């Protein structure tokens, strides 16, 4: 990918890499600094982080403020600057700490995961809720989400179309789907001319070529005429590389490489590290993979405390490396089943709490140094110290039960443009034809409320059929109160849709 200058406004915003980052605003309580305020943990040592950018300025990683003034920036293997990065870019940060709360970034590296065209004749599928879209690039499946994907340089969720050429950053799941954190629109695609890119692991190397494992898919690479860059001793199986080259048409998975670049993404032995990604393999708590990295979480603290690991979860892992394995000290869930979309209010920055109004009632939200905070409506970062900015604003919350059954411990807080009110959680009570209660909020229903099964197909018998399938105390349900003019037929406070969600 040819580096491009940052396409945001000139306002200074905060760079936050990985999970801690946007939430702490320089004063969070995440990571080793909080665990060892006297300077133990990462204090005074080297440090490495692998995650995605959430803003610009200094770099904050789990409460550690890392000065970037003297840092080198490597963008697709070439010298660059912070201006070449963008929100959602997956980066690797090397640095050192000078105290329990401050340090210096010495090196920041960025490589996109995939770049190429959406095939002209391919379908782009949208989920029934309109929250995700799926398509493929170079035969690799890609998923984008309204809540978690950043669209840049003219790309948009609504505007995705077959034939577009895109640069993609993100994380792969166990099925090989790239969950994009950033989508950057590129120029038009010309077969045999436009350069495509893919990052993956080398398999079956032979004279003049090899296979490239990208997620779970294989690309065939002809490297006979390629420039090889950074290799210690030639191309070998298991190496992580980036391939740049051409394809004969937009559905091809055969790349004629012009450059193959060796990528050293291994963590340094003994160093404190932070890693964010999706669990792609799980054998036991002491043996699982996150973003291709083996992790031992047997001695780790977990947030939330009842976190039960499985394939598909998105995690932040904090620990140190020994024998090529990250020995985790803390595991933080970077998502959650619970959702609340509504108007924020009563923010208390010192307590780390605020409320969200849905259906005229309030849900308590708790944030801390692990919460990802973001303002999609401005270039100014949302931080814990500026939590009162949620007051009167439409916010999207995703997280976990705070233990009360009526509040959320937030993994993500996003200020966004006004949209439908949403309440998703465990069904606490229901009165057929009258109401449902979720997260302590009782929402009215009536004869016009549409009740849907997990595939979003309507229940013919309405609430009665829904009630026969939904179990109070365990079933996950999503209640939507649509905006007037956006399909909302009911008055505010009365549900337009109620959906039974998959476990």
What's the total number of domains in the chain?
5
Given a contact cutoff of 8 angstroms between Cβ atoms, the answer to whether 374 and 415 are in contact is: yes
Domain at 314, CATH number: 2.40.50.140
Do 434 and 494 share a structural domain? yes
The reply to whether 184 falls in a domain is: no
Of 236, 262, 288, the last residue of a domain is 262
Do 329 and 343 share a structural domain? no
The reply to whether 19 falls in a domain is: yes
Interacting residues of 16 by C-beta distance below 8 A, sequence separation 6+: 22, 23, 24, 53, 54, 55, 59, 60, 61, 381
Low-confidence winner among 68-77, 211-220, 429-438 (lowest mean pLDDT): 68-77
Domain at 452, CATH number: 2.40.50
Low-confidence winner among 124-128, 182-186, 326-330, 343-347 (lowest mean pLDDT): 124-128
Q: Which domain holds residue 208?
A: 196-262
Of 333, 354, 386, the last residue of a domain is 333
The reply to whether 306 falls in a domain is: yes
- How far is the C-alpha of 167 from the C-alpha of 85, rounded, in Å? 13
The reply to whether 150 falls in a domain is: no
Interacting residues of 123 by C-beta distance below 8 A, sequence separation 6+: 135, 162
Do 391 and 350 share a structural domain? yes
Q: What is the pLDDT of the chain when averaged over all its residues?
A: 85
Do 439 and 405 share a structural domain? no
Do 348 and 313 share a structural domain? no
Do 406 and 376 share a structural domain? yes
Query: What are the tokens at 98?
Result: 């000078």
Q: What is the pLDDT of residue 382?
A: 84
- Is 125 strand, coil or helix? strand
Do 19 and 104 share a structural domain? yes
**For the chain, what is the total number of helices (H) and then of strands (E)?**
3, 39
Q: What is the pLDDT of residues 435-467, one digit of tens each?
A: 999 999 999 999 999 999 998 899 999 999 999
Residue linked to tokens 């998923």: 143
The answer to whether the predicted template modeling score (pTM) of the entire model surpasses 0.85 is no
- Is 117 strand, coil or helix? strand
The reply to whether 148 falls in a domain is: no
Q: What is the pLDDT of residues 79-109, one digit of tens each?
A: 998 888 887 889 888 987 776 556 778 999 9
Do 37 and 86 share a structural domain? yes
Burial class (CB in 10 A: 0-12, 13-18, 19+), 153: middle
**Predicted confidence (pLDDT) at residue 160 exceeds the cutoff of 80:** yes
Do 324 and 348 share a structural domain? no
């Amino acid at each position: 990918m040819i580096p491009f200058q940052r396409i945001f406004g000139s306002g200074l915003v905060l760079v936050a890499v990985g999970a801690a980052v946007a939430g702490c605003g320089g004063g969070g309580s995440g990571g080793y600094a909080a665990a060892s305020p006297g300077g133990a943990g990462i204090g005074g040592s080297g440090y490495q982080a692998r995650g995605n950018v959430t803003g610009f300025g200094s770099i904050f990683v789990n409460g550690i403020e890392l000065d970037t003034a003297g840092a080198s920036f490597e963008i697709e293997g070439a010298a660059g600057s912070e201006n070449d990065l963008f929100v959602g870019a997956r980066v690797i940060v090397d640095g050192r700490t000078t105290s329990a709360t401050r340090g210096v970034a010495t090196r920041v590296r960025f490589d996109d995961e995939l770049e190429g065209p959406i095939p002209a004749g391919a379908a782009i599928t949208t989920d029934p809720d309109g929250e995700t879209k799926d398509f493929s690039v170079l035969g690799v499946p890609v998923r984008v989400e309204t809540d978690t994907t950043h669209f840049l340089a003219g790309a948009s969720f609504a505007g995705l179309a077959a034939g577009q050429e895109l640069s993609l950053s993100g994380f792969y799941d166990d099925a090989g789907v790239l969950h994009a954190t950033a989508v950057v629109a590129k120029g038009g695609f010309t077969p045999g001319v436009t350069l495509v890119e893919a990052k993956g692991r080398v398999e079956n190397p032979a004279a003049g070529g090899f296979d490239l494992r990208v997620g779970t898919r294989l690309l065939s690479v002809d490297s006979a005429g390629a420039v090889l860059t950074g290799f210690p001793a030639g191309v070998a199986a298991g190496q992580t590389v980036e391939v740049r080259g051409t394809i004969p048409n937009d559905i091809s998975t055969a790349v004629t490489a012009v450059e193959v670049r060796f990528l050293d993404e291994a963590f340094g032995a003994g160093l404190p590290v932070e890693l964010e990604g999706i669990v792609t393999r799980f054998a036991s708590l002491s043996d699982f993979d996150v973003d291709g990295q083996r992790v031992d979480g047997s001695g780790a603290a977990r947030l939330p405390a009842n976190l039960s690991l499985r394939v598909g979860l998105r995690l932040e892992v904090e620990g140190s490396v020994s024998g090529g394995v990250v020995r985790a000290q803390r595991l933080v869930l970077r998502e959650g089943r619970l959702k609340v979309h509504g108007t924020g209010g009563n923010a208390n920055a010192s307590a780390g709490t605020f409320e969200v109004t849905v259906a005229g009632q309030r849900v308590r939200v708790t944030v801390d140094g692990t919460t990802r905070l973001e303002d999609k409506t401005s270039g100014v970062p949302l931080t814990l110290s500026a939590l009162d900015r949620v007051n009167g604003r439409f916010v999207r919350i995703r997280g976990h039960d705070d233990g009360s059954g009526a509040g959320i411990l937030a993994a993500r807080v996003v200020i966004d443009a006004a949209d439908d009110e949403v309440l998703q959680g465990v069904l606490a009570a229901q009165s057929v034809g009258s109401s449902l209660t979720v997260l302590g909020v009782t929402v009215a229903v009536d004869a016009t409320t549409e009740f849907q099964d997990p595939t979003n197909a309507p229940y013919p018998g309405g609430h009665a059929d829904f009630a026969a399938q939904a179990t109070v105390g365990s079933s996950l349900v999503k209640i939507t109160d649509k905006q007037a003019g956006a399909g909302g037929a009911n008055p505010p406070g009365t549900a337009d849709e109620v959906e039974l969600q998959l476990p």
